[in-house]
Amino acid sequence: MLKHLILCTLGCFPLLLAAQPDEHLHPGPNLVANPGFENLRRALPGYDLDGSIAFRNCIDKWMSPTKTTPDLKMSVNQEGTDVPHQGNSMVAILSHNPQSKRSDTYREYIQTKLNKPLIEGETYYVEFWICRAHNAALVSNNIGVAFSPVPIIHQDFEPLLAMKPVLNKKELINPDKKEWVKISGKFVASNREQFLIIGNFFINRQTKFEKAPDASSDAFNQPYYLIDDVGVYQLNVQAEPEASLATIEVAVGQVIQLDRIYFETAKWDLLEPSFEELTELHRLLEEHPSMQIEIHGHTDSRGGENYNQNLSENRAKAVYQYLLDQGVAPTRIAYQGYGELRPIESNETEEGRQTNRRVEFIILALDEANTEIQNISTEQPDKY
């Protein structure tokens, strides 16, 4: 009965549109709870060698929709060969198991309930990161995302193979080397979907399987993939009007957040939409020729401390370098990265982590009679 319900409710599928980086889309909040698999309901069992028990019993908000065993992988439990895209956790699934005695089309999937149902006719952006596991001897294609208005619970493979994904990777994933890649795209919701499923929705005849050229002799003869950082965002969300730097009242000690600075995930190259606010910052410095500022980069708490420190410093440096390229004297500007050390919201929620990932600047001096910098202090004033 449930199988028939699933097939009927999935009769009309969302339309997949062209992919576009999420930083360009000005989306609403992530609708996926626990998108990086960091939140656990209980401690990990010490006897769990592959992580399947941890996925079933410990991970928060995620489950297997079929009678299979996805694995929760923690970076502290790995042998130095599999590292999460961010944070300490990731999930691993088989896109096929040629040795399975249960089915010649063995598949593993993961499923989660979104924070709220999708709105019919609205456009959404979905993404996740994927990487071949070190002990996988095969590579495959056809790993994607499908949505359902009802949960799929402990089913066999057939209902999911009948689903049509809104997003699917048609090319082989990591055929030459093991690396994290982002799979992303836009789609239009059709049926108040509230459950997201990730996996291979195609039969063997429609899926490519090849030997990984760098597979070790003891690797499993399976395509085995790591998944991390899943996101679903509504687009065209009516946002609050953004304040322009031209309207702010400047004062020494004031900390001003740059709300329209955009980077690719885990990178520090400035994206095109950033230049509008950067132009405003350059203009502000021109209007106040004695203003001295220090640019600060911050991250959330996911990832290692050294990683976060390096990321925050390089993002602050990118803004600093932009101002230098516009002709701002290096004696008027400095930069500093603080990594995860100065959160302004809780890192326990996705919204809080998003707020903590920021670039801002502090006004160190503002004396119209003084055109040369004296000493740029990296210490924050007491009010910060």
Q: Is the pLDDT of residue 156 over 80?
A: no
CA distances from 180 to 105, 229, 265, 366 (A): 26, 11, 12, 45
Q: Is the pLDDT of residue 378 over 60?
A: no
Q: Within this chain, do residues 262 and 349 fall inside the same structural domain, yes or no?
A: yes
Where is pLDDT greater, at 383 or 282?
A: 282
Residue 88 lies in a domain: yes
Q: Is the pLDDT of residue 133 over 50?
A: yes
Q: Within this chain, do residues 80 and 118 fall inside the same structural domain, yes or no?
A: yes
Q: Within this chain, do residues 207 and 334 fall inside the same structural domain, yes or no?
A: no
Average pLDDT over residues 22-32: 69
Q: pLDDT (tens digit, 9 = 90+) per residue, 225-263?
A: 999 999 999 987 665 556 688 788 889 999 999 988 988
Q: Within this chain, do residues 69 and 177 fall inside the same structural domain, yes or no?
A: yes
Residue 130 lies in a domain: yes
Q: pLDDT (tens digit, 9 = 90+) per residue, 78-118?
A: 455 789 998 889 999 999 999 888 888 999 999 999 999 99
The range of the structural domain enclosing residue 328 comes to 245-365
The answer for residues whose C-beta is within 8 angstroms of residue 257's C-beta and 6 or more apart is 358, 359, 360
Q: Within this chain, do residues 268 and 138 fall inside the same structural domain, yes or no?
A: no
Average pLDDT over residues 23-27: 55
**Rounded CA separation 336/344 (Å):** 17
Residue 256 lies in a domain: yes
Q: pLDDT (tens digit, 9 = 90+) per residue, 182-215?
A: 999 999 999 889 999 999 999 999 999 999 988 8
Residue 383 lies in a domain: no
Select from 207, 234, 261 the last residue of a domain. 234
Q: Could you report how far apart the first and last alpha carbons of the chain are, in Å?
A: 59
Q: Within this chain, do residues 203 and 295 fall inside the same structural domain, yes or no?
A: no
The pLDDT of residue 304 is 85
**Rounded CA separation 379/298 (Å):** 15
pTM: 0.64
Number of domains in the chain: 2
Q: Within this chain, do residues 195 and 110 fall inside the same structural domain, yes or no?
A: yes
